[in-house]
C-alpha cells in the first residue's frame, strides 16, 4: 500500500527519491514540481475521452474506458519507472492533479511491481498553493544594481559560490531581461513553471540571512516575477555598482558580439518605438557595416537612460553607490560583500 504524505514531507523525500507526475503531457508541460519525471497514465487524447465519459456516464464508465485505452501500456510505465530509479532503491513518489484516481492507479500498479510508493495528498494542486505561498514569506532582500554591462549576473554567480543566498531570476527565466536577452538561451519555461522553480528556491532560504537579487523589471522575457516577491524587491535597498562605460562595453561586446549581425539587427528593430525609427535604422545599418562598437554606443545610450529612469522610480528605497575600478566579477563581488559588512544594518530591510 502507498503511504500518503503532506506537501512538506513529500518535498523533503523528493531530495532522495524520484518524483513521478502521472498527469498528461499538456498538464506537465504547463508546470510541474521541478525535477519530476512525467509518466502519464493517460495521454492528452485519452484524458479528454475519459473526462468526457466521466461527465456523461459517471465514474465507473470512465474507469473502464481508461483501462480499455491505456491498460496495455502498464508494462511500459513500470519499465520507465525502473529506469528512473536506475535499478537501485525502488522508492518512488507519485502524484496527479488532485491526488485521486490517476495517482492511486499508478501507485497500485507500481506497488504490485515491487516499488515502495509515496503519494502526495491533494496532488499537484496542493503543490501549487504551497508554491505561491512561498513568495509571502519574510526575506532580507538586497538588490544588486548597475547599468547594463556591469556584470551583475556574473557577480551573483560568484556570490552564490561563496555561500551567499541568491535568487537568479534571469537564470530561472532563461532570459537576460532585455530585447537581446533570449540570444543564446534555452526556451523559456511557462510562467507557472517559472513560479514553481522560484518557490523551491525561496523555500530553501534562511530568513535570517541576506538574499541577493539582481535589479530587474517585473517581466523577464515572457516570465513575470510573482507580485509578492516583486514588491519586496521594489522596497529593498540597492547596492549599485558604478562600472565605467568602457568596461561595460567590453563585457557586452564579448557577450553579444559573437552573434550574427542579422540576429542583432532583428532584436534592435524591436526597440524602434523607444529608440526612435531613425536611431534604430542607424543602429541596424552599423551592424550591417560590421561596425558593432558604434551599434552598441547607440543601443547602450537607450539602456542607460532606461535604467536611470527605473532607478528614479524606486521611491522610498535606498540606493548605495559603490564605485568599481573595473568589470571583474570576482573583485566586484568582494567589493559589495565588504560594503555590506560595514553598512549592513543600514542597508538590509526585513519584510
**Same domain flag for 204 and 66:** no
Give, rounded to a whole angstrom, the gap between the first and last alpha carbons of the chain.
44
Residue 164 Rama label (left phi>0; alpha psi -120 to 50; beta): beta
Q: Please state the rounded mean pLDDT for residues 305-320.
A: 84
pLDDT in the model for residue 41? 85
Residue 174 CA to residue 320 CA, distance in Å, equals: 28
pLDDT in the model for residue 351? 46
Looking up residue 252, the CATH number of its domain turns out to be 3.40.50
Cβ–Cβ under 8 Å, residues 239 and 248: no
71 vs 302: which has the higher pLDDT: 302
Active site residue 96: yes
Residue 125 CA to residue 198 CA, distance in Å, equals: 17
Looking up residue 95, the CATH number of its domain turns out to be 3.40.250.10
* pLDDT band for position 284 (cuts 50, 70, 90): very high
pLDDT in the model for residue 91? 96
* pLDDT band for position 50 (cuts 50, 70, 90): low
**Average per-residue pLDDT for the chain:** 90
Cβ–Cβ under 8 Å, residues 61 and 52: no
**Same domain flag for 205 and 117:** no
Final residue of a structural domain among 132, 155, 179: 132
Residue 165 CA to residue 107 CA, distance in Å, equals: 37
Q: Is the pLDDT of residue 63 over 90?
A: no
pLDDT tens-digit profile of 65-102?
655 656 557 778 888 999 999 866 899 999 999 998 88
* pLDDT band for position 269 (cuts 50, 70, 90): very high
**Same domain flag for 199 and 219:** yes
**Same domain flag for 113 and 162:** no
**Same domain flag for 90 and 160:** no
**Same domain flag for 47 and 109:** yes
**Same domain flag for 153 and 89:** no
Q: Please state the rounded mean pLDDT for residues 246-250.
A: 97
Final residue of a structural domain among 90, 111, 132: 132
**Same domain flag for 148 and 168:** yes
* pLDDT band for position 54 (cuts 50, 70, 90): low
**Same domain flag for 238 and 335:** yes
Residue 308 CA to residue 231 CA, distance in Å, equals: 19
**Same domain flag for 144 and 109:** no
pLDDT tens-digit profile of 103-147?
998 998 899 888 999 999 999 999 999 999 999 999 999 999 999
pLDDT in the model for residue 73? 78
Q: What is the span of the domain harbouring residue 11?
A: 3-132
Q: Is the pLDDT of residue 245 over 70?
A: yes
pLDDT tens-digit profile of 148-199?
999 999 999 999 999 999 999 999 999 998 999 999 999 999 999 999 999 9
Count of beta carbons in the 10 Å neighbourhood of residue 342? 9
Q: Is the pLDDT of residue 60 over 70?
A: no
pLDDT in the model for residue 19? 98
**Same domain flag for 275 and 229:** yes
Final residue of a structural domain among 132, 152, 179: 132
**Same domain flag for 25 and 114:** yes
Q: Which of 15, 196, 39, 56 is nearest to 113 (CA)?
A: 39
Number of structural domains in the chain? 2
* Cβ burial, residue 39 (10 Å; 0-12/13-18/19+): buried
Amino acid at each position: 500500500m502507498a503511504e500518503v504524505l503532506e506537501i512538506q514531507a513529500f518535498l523533503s523525500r523528493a531530495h532522495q527519491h524520484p518524483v513521478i507526475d502521472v498527469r498528461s503531457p499538456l498538464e506537465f508541460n504547463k508546470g510541474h514540481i521541478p525535477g519530476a519525471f512525467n509518466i502519464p497514465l493517460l495521454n492528452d487524447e485519452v484524458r479528454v475521452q475519459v473526462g468526457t465519459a466521466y461527465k456523461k456516464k459517471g465514474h465507473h464508465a470512465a474507469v473502464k474506458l481508461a483501462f480499455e485505452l491505456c491498460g496495455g501500456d502498464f508494462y511500459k510505465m513500470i519499465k520507465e519507472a525502473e529506469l528512473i530509479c536506475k535499478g537501485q532503491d525502488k522508492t518512488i513518489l507519485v502524484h496527479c492533479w488532485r491526488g485521486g484516481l490517476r495517482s492511486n492507479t499508478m501507485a497500485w500498479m507500481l506497488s504490485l511491481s515491487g516499488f515502495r510508493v509515496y503519494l502526495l495528498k491533494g496532488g499537484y494542486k496542493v503543490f501549487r498553493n504551497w508554491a505561491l505561498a512561498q513568495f509571502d514569506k519574510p526575506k532580507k532582500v538586497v538588490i544588486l544594481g548597475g547599468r547594463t554591462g556591469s556584470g551583475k549576473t556574473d557577480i551573483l554567480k560568484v556570490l552564490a559560490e561563496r555561500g551567499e543566498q541568491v535568487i537568479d531570476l534571469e537564470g530561472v527565466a532563461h532570459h537576460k531581461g532585455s530585447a537581446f536577452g533570449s540570444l543564446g538561451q534555452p526556451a523559456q519555461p511557462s510562467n507557472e513553471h517559472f513560479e514553481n522553480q522560484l518557490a523551491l528556491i525561496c523555500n530553501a532560504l534562511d530568513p535570517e540571512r541576506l538574499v541577493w537579487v539582481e535589479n530587474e523589471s517585473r517581466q523577464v522575457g515572457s516570465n513575470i516575477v510573482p507580485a509578492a516577491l516583486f514588491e519586496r524587491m521594489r522596497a529593498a535597498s540597492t547596492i549599485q555598482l558604478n562600472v565605467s562605460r568602457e568596461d561595460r562595453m567590453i563585457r557586452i561586446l564579448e557577450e553579444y558580439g559573437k552573434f550574427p549581425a542579422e540576429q542583432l539587427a532583428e532584436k534592435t528593430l524591436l526597440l524602434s518605438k523607444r529608440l526612435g525609427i531613425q536611431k534604430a535604422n542607424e543602429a541596424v545599418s552599423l551592424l550591417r557595416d560590421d561596425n558593432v562598437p558604434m551599434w552598441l554606443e547607440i543601443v547602450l545610450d537607450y539602456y542607460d537612460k532606461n535604467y536611470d529612469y527605473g532607478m528614479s522610480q524606486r521611491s522610498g528605497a535606498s540606493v548605495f553607490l559603490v564605485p568599481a575600478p573595473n568589470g571583474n566579477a570576482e573583485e566586484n563581488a568582494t567589493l559589495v560583500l565588504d560594503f555590506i559588512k560595514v553598512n549592513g544594518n543600514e542597508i538590509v530591510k526585513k519584510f
